């Protein structure tokens, strides 16, 4: 009886690779290429960021998201005070292929200290509506890899604050880092950043 190879089998895929080469490859961008494209006007009037070599177009900022960013900026500036900068939607230099632009990043220092984009932050925060899944499942891993010890998501869908801490090896995937501790804080609760433990930020003050 005649048989045919399962087209999904690893054996047939390996034969194809040997006969015809490695096949299609994803073109991954470097930070230098990414910023050069920006200089040339490729991203004019578009919100993009470089994540893992991929240029990601971000969703348009709707009014609740915009209000959330304003509230977040006010709360973080009040909490951290002098000697800290709250950078709103500005790049973090997390390596050759990753240049995220979080909704807020708190860094130690003054504005003129950052001739180059900072490589780390005391706290990184994303205000999430349509990007909630992406912020949880993709960006969290990149922030963990960068050693960001305190990552918050202001979840506008469920109206809560999600706090991600203790970056370390991801038990579900070898070679990847993840946050071992995730805390959900309701609107009635509050949070204190480890970098400023005496500061208390009410979750309700972050929600539009």
More confident residue, 204 or 5: 204
Show me where the domains of the chain are located. 10-51, 60-206
**HSE of 53, CA atoms in CB hemisphere, 13 A:** 5
pLDDT value for 151: 99
Which residue blocks in the chain are alpha helix, DSSP H? Answer: 10-20, 31-39, 63-80, 132-134, 140-145
Q: Which is nearest to 177 in space by CA: 164, 189, 188? A: 164
Q: Looking at the whole model, is its pTM more than 0.85?
A: yes
Mean of per-residue pLDDT scores for the chain: 93
Please check the confidence at residue 149 and state whether its pLDDT lies above 90.
Answer: yes
Cβ atoms of 193 and 150 closer than 8 Å:
yes
Cα–Cα distance between 97 and 50 in angstroms, integer?
A: 7
> Residues 1-60: pLDDT tens digits?
444 555 566 787 777 777 777 777 778 999 999 999 999 999 998 999 999 999 999 988
Cα–Cα distance between 197 and 181 in angstroms, integer?
A: 17
CATH of domain 60-206: 3.90.1570.10
């Amino acid at each position: 009886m005649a048989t045919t190879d399962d087209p999904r089998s690893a054996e047939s895929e390996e034969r194809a690779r040997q006969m015809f080469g490695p096949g299609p490859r994803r073109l991954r961008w470097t930070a230098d290429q990414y910023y050069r494209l920006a200089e040339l006007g490729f991203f004019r009037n578009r919100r993009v960021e470089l994540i893992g070599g991929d240029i990601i177009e971000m969703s348009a900022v709707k009014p609740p998201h915009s209000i959330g960013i304003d509230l977040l900026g006010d709360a973080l500036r009040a909490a951290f005070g002098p000697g800290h900068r709250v950078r709103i939607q500005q790049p973090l230099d997390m390596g050759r292929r990753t240049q995220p632009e979080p909704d807020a990043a708190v860094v130690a220092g003054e504005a003129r200290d950052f001739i180059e984009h900072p490589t780390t932050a005391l706290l990184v925060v994303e205000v999430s509506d349509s990007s909630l899944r992406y912020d949880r499942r993709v960006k969290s891993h990149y922030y963990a890899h960068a050693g960001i010890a305190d990552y918050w998501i202001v979840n506008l869908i469920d109206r809560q604050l999600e706090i991600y801490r203790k970056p370390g090896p991801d038990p579900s995937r070898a070679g990847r880092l993840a946050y071992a501790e995730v805390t959900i804080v309701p609107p009635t609760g509050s949070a204190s950043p480890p970098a400023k433990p005496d500061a208390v930020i009410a979750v309700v003050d972050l929600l539009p």
